[in-house]
Structure 1
Amino acid sequence: MKLLIDIADDKAAGFMEMIKSYAKVKATPISTPDAEILDEIKRIKEAFNDVERIKAGKLKTRPVEDLLNEL
């Protein structure tokens, strides 16, 4: 299993030391740009899931005219 954990910079070193003490756990820090890319990928996946739910009739939509009137 892979996890992405967001930890404050001042707590990260201690957390990494603790997590590395577990023999079967591998921890690798990622850069901020990489984390932002992963967040965008997650949002895109959620958008595709929403489209599937709309197609399946499980998520309601509203007319585009309503959206345009809000602008």
Structure 2
Amino acid sequence: MQFSVNVPDEKVSFFLELIKNLRFVKIEPVTVQEEEVTAEQLKAEIKEAVNEMKLVRQGKKKSRPIEDLLNELQH
């Protein structure tokens, strides 16, 4: 079984030392790479969102309930 554990930076050494002493635990570090968004990418995404809203208001594009979006983000 795998777990994801978030440990405060100041407690990482303690936590690693603790679990290293458990012979049945296998430690595999996972790195998370954050994607940097440039100002140009952000502008393009905002422009696209504004255009989509215009199409929805004009009836040329169908919208969906906010509840659907929130449920999608939770999963």
Point out the structure with the larger helix share.
1
TM (normalized to structure 2)? 0.42
TM (normalized to structure 1)? 0.44
Which protein shows a greater Rg? 2
